Amino acid sequence: MQPRVQAFFDLATSTASYLVSDPATGQAAIIDPVLDFEPKAAKLSTASADALLQAIADQGLTLAYVLETHAHADHLSAADYIRGSTGAKVVIGAHIREVQKTFIPVFEADDVAADGAVFDVLLDEGDTLALGELTVRVLHTPGHTPACVTYLIGEAAFVGDTLFMPDYGTARADFPGGDAATLYRSIQKILALPPETRVFVGHDYLPAGREEFRWETTVAEERARNVHVHEGVGEAEFVAMRQARDATLAAPTLILPSLQVNIRAGALPPATSAGNVFLRLPVRAA
């Protein structure tokens, strides 16, 4: 049996979130939900997450999990909001502890322990979850971040930021804990899946010559046409390309708000005694 997959695309962050459900039982999971954040006004809203929850209600589904592919640096996660609304468990790769150890000191996030405990379920390579009559299998696919995982559900692979559409390429590997050679090897694990495997990417950024957003491809298409890592591209060639490209990239607009929220499983920092919530902006001298 194959899952039903519905995509929800957030234009502000170019993020694809997914509602994945078991047709037999109605059990469902949300993958990589977005908490809307307008940085100029520091304003939060939940329209994107509410659209996912409304789809669940309209279809009579039961939400079991929020599956995070990694701690995102380009959008705030709505995982904690959805957990509070539904009781669903928030799931992430067990190597999130490494990410927390890196960023807790950056934000002086003393309310968070670097043990992954703010998440409900931590998964390693080969672990599984039951989703109704379906099975969620886990591949550890680091390189973009140490904690990146790919979720395999039936013939569908949810790869987060590891791979993008074939005409756009692959994830950057210059974040703390990232590594281009590790990313290459993780991608090879994905490309070793059956060629008909449906690949659902975490973002789509329109390359030159394409006008519509896309978020689904296949392993066969990635092997044949991915502009960075198609068949025949070796590790050394890929690493040289990735490192040169990453050296030209600016930091994501929402990297500082996102990481301090996402290492908390999408929760905001604790309120002050006056009831106000603040996100921290570490300042570096030139």
For residue 197, give both structure tokens: 């495997």
pLDDT in tens, 62-109: 999 999 999 999 999 999 999 999 999 999 999 999 999 999 999 999
Q: What is the pLDDT of residues 25-72, one digit of tens each?
A: 999 999 999 999 999 999 999 999 999 999 999 999 999 999 999 999
The per-residue pLDDT for 208 is 87
Q: How confident is the model over 164-204, as pLDDT tens digits? A: 999 999 999 999 999 999 999 999 999 999 999 999 999 99
Q: Two tokens at 213?
A: 């957003």
Does residue 54 sit in helix, strand or coil? Answer: helix
Name the nearest CA neighbour of 258 among 62, 75, 102, 126.
75
Q: CATH number of the domain at 4-261, please?
A: 3.60.15.10
Residue 29: partners with Cβ closer than 8 Å, 6 or more residues away = 19, 20, 21, 63, 64, 65, 66, 67, 131, 136, 153
> How far is the C-alpha of 256 from the C-alpha of 286, rounded, in Å?
18
Average pLDDT of the residues of the chain: 97
pLDDT of residue 285: 75
200-258 per-position pLDDT tens digit: 999 999 998 899 999 999 999 999 999 999 999 999 999 999 999 999 999 999 999 99
Q: Is 242 helix (H, G, I), strand (E, B) or coil?
A: helix
Question: Is it the case that residue 1 has pLDDT exceeding 80?
Answer: no
pLDDT band at 284; cut points 50, 70, 90: confident
Model confidence at 286: pLDDT above 80: no
Region of poorest pLDDT, from 6-10, 83-87, 133-137, 280-284:
280-284
